[in-house]
Structure 1
Amino acid sequence: MEEKFLKAGTDAYSNALHRIWWGAELTYEKAESGDIKDRDYSRTKRVLGFQELANDILDHDFARYIPVTHACGDLLCHDTLNEIKEEGTYNNPPSNSNIVSRTTTLLREELTVRRVEMMEEDDIVETIEDLRDDVMRREAGWS
């Protein structure tokens, strides 16, 4: 228990507070004022409040590129996925955890052949939306 909270670790899993801090650093929205105390941590709360999303975003190399982390946090959070499900487009949609797991796996694969730093933010959002929607279509039995 002491190692988990008090000792310096060798990786993000060895210290829970470090992992939470790093997750917050990757997901907060900068304030227009530029002041640290005005940062918006609502995305951070959504990401860290959804274990599958937090693990899948923060454990992949693409998490080091903040526009991808932000897009994943916005497009794969419970609220967004539940809104899509409520639209009724897909019959028997998969669980939110399943959608996140499959989408981030496909994203990781996609980014092995694309240089994420060269992508515009709109392209990042479109890529994640397309992958997420593809996961939901496949699960609904569409081809």
Structure 2
Amino acid sequence: MGPPLSAGAPTVDPASTDRATRRADRRADRHIVATRVARRIADHDGIITHTEAVELGMTRAAIHTRIDSGARRRLTPGVYLCGTHDLTGAARLRAAVAVHRAGADHTAAAFWHGMLDDLPAAITLSAPPTVTGRSSAPSPPTSSAGSLRPRTSRRCAGSG
């Protein structure tokens, strides 16, 4: 039998302390994830992909909760715009690049580098022929040079 408890001394249940510590750790983890996601969104004109959100620690359920609540707007499957951001030219270009896993070229690249004030209605992108996006552009024939294959140019209709 242990020493007698003095009157009025609080007793601490180790199990409840462990639960409280785990709960506090989960809250801290969620805060860290939310901070990382917010930073990514701010740095990327309000655009975040499903893959990026998961890599930053969000669960699928958390992503879908934000979509359902209006905190995120689904632009295309797997590409979202934060509800606090407008769909600017820069955001449209980032979304197109994310969807097609490609690089901006021609006038889209000129816009990105500040050479044009407005993003053209039709966005052009370039991607290796092995990249599959949501475009119906055919892959060009490959050359015998292997790594020097020609790039596919994709034209995306403007969304705003």
Higher RCO structure (Cα 8 Å, ≥6 apart):
1
More strand by share: 2
| TM surpasses 0.5 | no
Tell me the TM-score normalized by structure 1: 0.29
Give the number of the structure whose alpha-carbon radius of gyration is greater. 2
Which has the larger share of helix? 1
TM-score (ref. length: structure 2): 0.27
